[in-house]
Amino acid sequence: MSANQSIFPKTYQITPTGVEIGGCNLLELAKKYGTPLYVYDEQTIIDICTDYKNSFAKYHDVQPLFASKAFMTKAMCAILKKQNFGLDVVSGGEIYTAYKSGFDMSKVMFNGNNKTLDELKMALEYGIGHISVDNFYEIELLGKLSQELNKNQDILLRITPGIECHTHEYIQTGHLDSKFGFDLTQIDEAITSIISKYPLLQIKGLHAHLGSQIFETQVFADAVDVIFEQFKHIKDAFGIELTEMNIGGGLGITYTTEDNPPSIQTIADIIIEAIDVCSQKYGVNKPKIYLEPGRSIVGTAGVALYKVGSIKQVPNGRKYVSLDGGMADNPRPSMYQAKYTAVVVNKINETPVETVTLAGRFCESGDIIIEDINLPKLESGDVVCVFNTGAYGYSMSSNYNRVLKPAIVLVNSAQSDIIIRRESYDDLLSCDEVPDRLL
């Protein structure tokens, strides 16, 4: 079983002294660092990176890229660098984080549907490996910039393969009506524009990303077929033999017992077999593969610790247990109706006796973390652990209500280290300016 198929981090265990992750007692972590607190298990991240590498090992040329939008910090870059992973980045901030971390920028791919001129310039100046070009506007922007800077740049064309996954509509990206990528009918025009106007842009391959939190398997084989069909068409129409394929990421993880995602090995076998079949079917050489796992790398590795505050029993209604975090440190429940699993850390051996709704502290009625969960009798001061918050918790966090962002701790071998310090009120005000006329 790969880590994406488990609710719990690899090192999660219940011991006589309490709940541990990475050999660290969660209750002690909450006391030492405060709450809310993100806790990441380094071993889980390493193990699932290893799973990806081992699962695709039989293919001749594979480069996994971590989808940075899931969780991007300098410490995360350091872990990935040791694992020989590359990075898929989508903003200047992610590019800058990678660069300042000493990451090999040749292993970085820049993705996104509306890259700015400044971001593209940064990418070229930092020697980024690939840019996944998303639209005609970007072709012109990047093409002219490459000429001004006299920089050759390897690119992929991002295509919309017309494959719809059964996931939340907000995280479907491969279907036809999408803001991402070129429609298949636009590829010829895009290539013609590049080869006729912008010779410093080197078209290496195609990029197709299907979406996020995917449980289906056939969609990956379908995407490979679409890409190979386009490889053949481009070879016949332009005499260009593309050598690289970015199949995207999106493999789902287990948030609750109702989830049943496929293993990494299963997805790898399907993709590799599809490439074998399509290579013969279309008479095209097997390309280098790029993968973009994000959630499946860090989702299971991260948990969030909260402290219970107020408790409200609605007459003839729900019992609301308010935590000291919520939609500002994890907006997924309010955005995607995401479901989670939780335990009460300091009452881990007690029997669940009541159904409660774990509510956030923010001034929105929709700020609910988990609705109707069975837990032991809760009291103010109890510590709740919510699992699978490693992806899109911190990266989507905000200062809504001017609440400070939590700290992040990395644990491994009974050692805990701060990798993002807790914000202070001075941090919160650090970008504020007051015009003289208001003083």
CA end-to-end span of the chain, whole Å?
A: 62
Task: Provide CB contacts within 8 A for 363, sequence distance 6+.
Answer: 401
Q: What is the pLDDT along the chain (439 residues), one digit of tens a residue?
A: 888 999 999 999 999 999 999 999 999 999 999 999 999 999 999 999 999 999 999 999 999 999 999 999 999 999 999 999 999 999 999 999 999 999 999 999 999 999 999 999 999 999 999 999 999 999 999 999 999 999 999 999 999 987 764 543 443 444 455 677 899 999 999 999 999 999 999 999 999 988 889 999 999 999 999 999 999 999 999 999 999 999 999 999 999 999 999 999 999 999 999 999 999 999 999 999 999 999 999 999 999 999 999 999 999 999 999 999 999 999 999 998 999 999 999 999 999 999 999 999 999 999 999 999 999 999 999 999 999 999 999 999 999 999 999 999 999 999 999 999 999 999 999 999 999 999 9
Name the active-site residue from 77, 165, 278, 363: 363
Domain 42-298 has CATH 3.20.20.10: yes
Q: Is 363 one of the annotated active-site residues of the chain?
A: yes
**Where do the domains of the chain lie?**
3-40+300-429, 42-298
Any long-range contacts for 122-126 (C-beta under 8 Å, 24+ apart)? 122/92, 122/95, 122/96, 123/95, 124/149, 124/151, 124/153, 125/149, 126/95, 126/99
Which distant-in-sequence residues (6+ apart) come within 8 Å of 359 by Cβ?
320, 321, 322, 323, 326, 367, 368, 369
Distance between CA atoms of residues 373 and 355, nearest Å: 5
3-state secondary structure the chain: CCHHHCCCCCCCEEECCEEEECCEEHHHHHHHHCCCEEEEEHHHHHHHHHHHHHHCCCCCCEEEEEEHHHCCCHHHHHHHHHCCCEEEECCHHHHHHHHHCCCCHHHEEECCCCCCHHHHHHHHHCCCCEEEECCHHHHHHHHHHHHHHCCCEEEEEEEECCCCCCCCHHHECCCCCCCCCEEHHHHHHHHHHHHHHCCCEEEEEEECCCECCECCCHHHHHHHHHHHHHHHHHHHHHCCCCCEEECCCCECCCCCCCCCCCCHHHHHHHHHHHHHHHHHHHCCCCCEEEECCCHHHHCCCEEEEEEEEEEEECCCCCEEEEECCCCCCCCHHHHHCCCCCEEEHHHCCCCCCEEEEEECCCCCCCCEEEEEEEECCCCCCCEEEEECCCCCCHHHCCCHHHCCCCEEEEEECCEEEEEECCCCHHHHHCCCCCCHHHC
CATH number of the domain at 3-40+300-429, please? 2.40.37.10
The closest alpha carbon to 173, from 143, 213, 115, 129, belongs to: 213
Q: State residue 211's pLDDT score.
A: 85
Q: Are strands 244-246 and 288-291 parallel, antiparallel or unpaired?
A: parallel
Paired with 418 in beta bridges are 409
Measured at the CA of 396, the angle between CA 392 and CA 399, to 5 degrees, comes to 145
Q: Given its phi and psi angles, is residue 23 left (phi above 0), alpha (psi -120 to 50 degrees) or beta?
A: left
Distance CA 96, CA 62 (A): 25
Model pLDDT, residue 173: 45
Write down the pLDDT at residue 168.
Answer: 39
pLDDT at 347: 98
